[in-house]
Each structure stands twice: as C-alpha cells, then as structure tokens.
Amino acid sequence: MSEFDVIVVGAGPAGASAAIRLASNKVNVLLVDRADPPGSKNVSGGVLWGDSLGQVIPDWEKSNMLERYVEAKGVTFLTKDSKISIDFRSKKFGEYKSGYTVLRTKFDAWLAKKAKDAGAMVASGVTVDKIAMKDGKAIGVEQAGETITSDAVILAEGANSRIAYDSGLKKKPTDEKIALGVKEVIKLPEKTITERFNLTSPKMGFASEYVLGFLDGGVKAGGFLYTNKESISIGAVISMGDLRKNNQTYSFNVIEQFKDHPFIAPLIQDGRVEEYSAHLVPEGGMSVDSVYGNGYMIAGDTAGFTFSNGLVLQGMNYAIVSGIVAADSFMEKKGKGPDMNFANYGENLAKTFVMKDMKNFSGIDRVTWSETIHNTIPAIAEDAMLNIFSEDGNPKKHLSQIVLSSALKHKDKRKDLAVDLYRMIRRL
C-alpha cells in the first residue's frame, strides 16, 4: 500500500493544477516543492493566456492575485534607432479572452494554497532527488535517502529538470532547446502605468513582445514588457547558441541594452528596479521522448510545453492543461487494477491544443531565431518607413517600389530572405 495515490513534484501551474484537480476528486495527493514558500523560485514573463485555469478554479478571474487584464497587445521590432510596432487593442478582448499578467511568487503560492484547501498535502522546502523506480515502474520519489511511495508520480519540476535528468527521463538540453530568460520587475505608481500605456483603467494592462535587432555583437534575443498593477515586468529571452557564438556579451547586460533603448527607456523612466531574476525557457517544443511511462507522467516546462512564434510567448496555459490532463489520466486508472502505465495521458494530451500546437509548430524556432526576423526584416521595415513617412522634396514612389528597393539594399541576404519568408508563412 503506497503512502499517497499521487505525488506531484513541483508547485508551478502544471503541478498545482494537477494537485487541485486530484484533491478535488478525493485523491490522496502530495504536492512537493523545493522552494519555501512553494513557488518562490518560479519565474515567468509573465502573462497567463486563456482561461484554462477555470477548469480547476472556476472563479479564478475574481482573484486579487492577478495583476492586469491584457487589453493591449503589442508586437514590436526594435532597431538601433527605430521602433516598428503593432499595438493591437480591442474591446473584443473581453469576449475572446486574452490574458492576465501575473507575478509568479504570489500567484504560485496562491495556487498551492488552493491545492491545500482542496485537500492536498503540500510540502515546501523539500527537494526530491529522484523518481524511485522498481522493476521499471515509478513507485514514488527519493528524498534525502528515503523513499516516499505513491501509485503515480506527476513530474512538473520546470525547465531546469534535474530530477528528469537524474532519473534518465530527459536528456540535457542542447543550445537549440533552451533559451535564457532574464527579467527585472520595476516599480512604478499604478496611475503612472495606466497613463503611460494609455490604458482604459487601472485593471487593464499592456503586454508586448519585441524582436531586439540591435544588440551588441549581433546576439539574438526577444524582449518582453508587461504591465502589472504597480510594476512593470521587463526582460529578454536570449538565444543560448548565439550567446555562445558571440562569447563576449554578458547575458545580464542584454536586458540593460533593451532597457536603454531610446524608445523603451521612457516607458520605465523613474521606475525603481525591485527584483532581478533569471530562468530557462524551453524552446522548440516537446523535450522528452515520452511524456509518460510506467507509474509517471511529465507535465509543463519539464516536457517542453511552451509556445513562441515571436508574436506571443506562452507556457503557463500549456502547463495548466497538461497538469489537469495528467490528473484526469490518473483518475481513469484509479481503482481499476495495478496497471499504471499512462499511455492514456499521451492519448488524452494529443486531443488538446497542447500536443496539437507542439506538433503543428515544430520547427518554428528556426523562424523565430532566424537572421531574417532579427535583422533583415527590421532593417527593411525601417528603411521603408523612413521613405514613406518622411518628405525629402522628391516625387513620391509606389509602396511596392519602396519595399522592393529597401529589400534590395539587403540583397546579400535575399536568398535567405526568400527561404525564410516561405518558412515563416508555412510555419507561423
């Protein structure tokens, strides 16, 4: 007889959602996190997109743990001298659901409390060393030389997946499978944020992704800037491969270059940096050979469930859905004999957007980290905009002429451009 029905490792959105779902269904579950309080080592941008959380916490949108509702979504290219952006705002974001900005330390502690309230046992400050295996089946977790037993383990330890590596469930990431996220939380008055970003109320927020095409040494990174109630989350997601190739740019200075950009600096002006943080970001889709095995399931970042196409950066929604599906897959097996091989988790997950997106958008990282996106397109756009929006006393040209001549200026990259544009259209 096991001590627990299920042990969930990691109190992030994936683990907590799984624990809430299980505990709400009278499953004897232990949610264990190595941070104390739970979640206090977790970091994300972070916007929680969609309403997946409603599946486990129906009234979650009433929570005061949410920062601002995203009513304005930006996509921006930054060159050394220019900013080219889409600033999309829509009253329809109310019905279509965009997302909420969150600060994870507070938010994840709240999720863990929800799990506890539902009946889960929550152990914080406890580091699991390994999944305990016997005859090829997970029988619990190993912690400080002891085994805590369970019928199933849900592994949701995040992107830095030590347990998965040490248990032989996941290979260490290559440069292509991981990016480095570096972030700062900058304090500003609520009113200043609302006014500075032209938001319709203090409950409403702005979230933008940036292509940083101006970094020293040609390092590639994406930027993000999200408004919280009384702070701004700003950060850079840096390509590990590029940083390595460059080998002279310090990762911690990339975010400072972003902050110092002439059109970003005014947005954070007079703000006080309250926190600096860093976290790995899974890239390029699923990162494990299998998301399940005998006695265990893998959810969230540990499985590589994130999505990025340069327009949006998502992860928490994938984490939540995978956690819930893992919980449901356990309940399908519960009380029906000793078989705990969770092939049903794989099948159930395949029916959700999580796996469908992983499949449909595999290889998208080749677009998002391409020269074309980071350098060529911003350069062409800058050139074209300068032509269109300035008046130099010469006769005006057709738009197509302007764009073509701007593109021709970068003709050494045109072959790349044609290939990448084709890939982009196909893969985006």
Partner 1 sequence: MMKIEDRLSLLNYKIDKSYAHITVNPSICETCPDHFCTFACPAKCYTLIDEKLNFKYEDCVECGTCDTACSHGSVAWTNTKGGHGVKYKFG
* Residues near partner 1 (CB under 8 A): 34-36, 39-44, 103-108, 124-127, 129, 144, 159-160, 162-163, 172-175, 178, 180, 182, 184-185, 231, 233, 240, 243-244, 246-253, 256-257, 259-260, 273-280
**Whole-angstrom distance between the N-terminal and C-terminal Cα of the chain?**
49
Instruction: Name which of 215 and 424 has its Cβ closer to partner 1.
Output: 215
CA distance 302 to 167: 13
Q: Which is nearer to partner 1, 104 or 196 (CB)?
A: 104
Q: Which is nearer to partner 1, 136 or 145 (CB)?
A: 145
Closer residue to partner 1 in complex, CB, 232/407? 232
Nearer Cβ to partner 1 (302/376)? 302
- Residue 308 CB, nearest approach to partner 1 (Å): 18
Amino acid at site 44: S
The H-or-E segment that residue 191 falls in is helix 190-196
Tokens describing residue 149: 């037993």
Least distance (Å) between residue 339 CB and partner 1: 31
In the complex, what is the shortest distance from the CB of residue 396 to partner 1, in angstroms, rounded to a whole number?
42
Assigned token pair, 187: 């304090």
Rounded least distance, CB 162 to partner 1, Å:
5
What one-character-per-residue DSSP string does 236-288 give?
EEEEHHHHHHH-SS-HHHHHHHHHTSTTTHHHHTT-EEEEEEEEEEE-SS--S
CB of 244 to partner 1, least distance (A): 6
Report the nearest approach of partner 1 to the CB of residue 247 (Å). Answer: 6
CA 72 vs CA 41, 104, 209, 245: distances in Å: 29, 21, 12, 36
In whole angstroms, give the CA distance from residue 28 to residue 4. 6
Q: How far apart are CB 14 and partner 1 at their closest, in Å?
A: 15
Residue 85 neighbours by CB under 8 Å, 6+ apart? 74, 75, 76, 77, 208
* Contacts by 263-266, CB closer than 8 A, 24 or more apart: 263/78, 263/82, 263/83, 264/78, 264/223, 264/225, 264/234
Q: From CA 299, how far away is CA 132, in angstroms rounded? A: 18
The residue (of 34 and 374) whose beta carbon lies closer to partner 1 is 34
By beta-carbon proximity to partner 1, the closer residue of 132 and 402 is: 132
Gap between the Cα atoms of 304 and 173, Å rounded: 10
Choose between 365 and 382: whose C-beta lies nearer to partner 1.
365
CB of 43 to partner 1, least distance (A): 5
